[in-house]
Amino acid sequence: MTDNKPPTAEALTNGGEAHAVPTSTAQQYDLLPKLIPNLDRHLIFPLLEFLSGLEGDESAEVTKAKYELLKQTNMTDYVASLWQEINDSDEMPEEFVKKREEVLQRLSLFTEETSQIDELLNDESVVSNLRSDKVANLKFLEQQHGVTIQMVDMLYDYGRFQYSCGSYANSAHLLDQFRILSTDNDKASSASWGKLAADILTTNWEVVMEEVNKVKESIDTKLFNNPLAQLDHRTWLIHWTLFPFFNYEPARDTITEVLFSPSFINTIQTNCPWILRYLAAAVITSRSRTRNTGAYQKQLKDLVRVVRQEGYEYNDPVTEFVKALYVDFDFEAAQKKLEEAEEVLKGDFFLSASADAFVEAARHLISESYCKIHQRIDIRDLSARLGLSHDEGEKWIVNLIRDTRMDGKLDYQQGTVLMNHPANSVYQQVIERTKGSFFRTSVLR
């Protein structure tokens, strides 16, 4: 119990590994100082682990940061080992020995005091009599089994204690039991956040997504009359969802839709514009999966709009790549920003595993845009824009035409590609421009 430690970076990332030497570009656009204030201390630890991997051998600064981060927790043995490393000592100070004994005593006391209610909530015959009305449930348990409010609150305290000890699975179980019975809305909300953090740290992604929906619903309903609290809680939820966002593939589309919803995109623009890096990476890497759907096209348009609006507030090579390609139509700048974006992504805890997929998808987007506005394309020129050799560029373009079903012909002798761009008729242009007018008119009414 006392020798627990938070999970490592490798345990929480989907195959992402820290690169040995951080580049100056990655360091310049490091988001860690912006992410830390919006994360729980246990969720911050894997980010520090990733940072130590970037720097090769763990630096003294990172070790001190870990110590300061966890010294208030109940993971006394691990905290003591950090202290010994910082002070180059083999002796464990008395304060850690004393705290370890206190933790074990409290653990024994909590176990004894919650044993009755824990047994009841694991008894199928008792659980089957519980209803959605928490007041009625408490009355039933009090009359039939002698359960009191103090016993229910003890589950909450024990869940927090287990979380502080790094026993996240036990913590999630206890906090869930507490939510079933508690009529204290503030504590129930706190328990939901605690369970969400515990599930993230155990990488139980399916349950994490269920908890994300519960927290989101609570923010939308219970904080309806407190806009500032809603803003703060949505900001926290956005940052916490980054863990399943890039580590659990089924969550990618769901979270992207949530972040593009009006309330959350407004939160991003108001409170945390740096999240646009992750939103851009998610949209671009999903190109091969959903590029022909209306939802993807709408998300791409919304992304371009927000990146353009927030350029004065926040920018990095990822958002600048989007701006160069879709706002300025500057293909040389897009290629330059893509090279920088690759370095930034490889140095980002959440995006390191997606760096190669991002570069691949971004090259496709550059090629598609370039082919759409040019009728005759020099293969050597396009290859240079994509950072590829002539032969690689030739294969790339052939695959692009085949995959996207563009109307193009490859001239091997001239080293060019001829694109056929049939012009839309006047009637079709009128239809396209007026397609949404009826809907907008009906809304105004």
For 270-284, letters b (16+ CB in 10 Å) and e give eebbbbbbbbbbbbb
pLDDT of residue 70: 92
pLDDT of residue 16: 52
Is the pLDDT score of 194 beyond 60?
A: yes
Is the pLDDT score of 143 beyond 90?
A: no
Which tokens hold the place of 312?
């004065």
Q: Which of 129, 207, 135 is nearest to 175 (CA)?
A: 207
Provide CB contacts within 8 A for 72, sequence distance 6+: 41
Give the span between the Cα atoms of 237 and 272, in whole angstroms: 12
Give the span between the Cα atoms of 175 and 239, in whole angstroms: 21
Is the pLDDT score of 407 beyond 70?
A: no
* Side-chain-side CA neighbours of residue 59 (13 Å): 13
Choice between 125 and 22, residue whose per-residue pLDDT is larger: 125
Give the span between the Cα atoms of 103 and 270, in whole angstroms: 42
* Side-chain-side CA neighbours of residue 427 (13 Å): 0
13 neighbors 349 (Cβ within 8 angstroms): yes
pLDDT tens, 227-248? 899 999 999 999 999 999 999 9
* Residue labelled with tokens 């851009």: 280
* Residue labelled with tokens 């009906």: 442
Return the bridge partners of 142, or none.
none
- pLDDT, mean of residues 254-263: 93
pLDDT of residue 331: 85
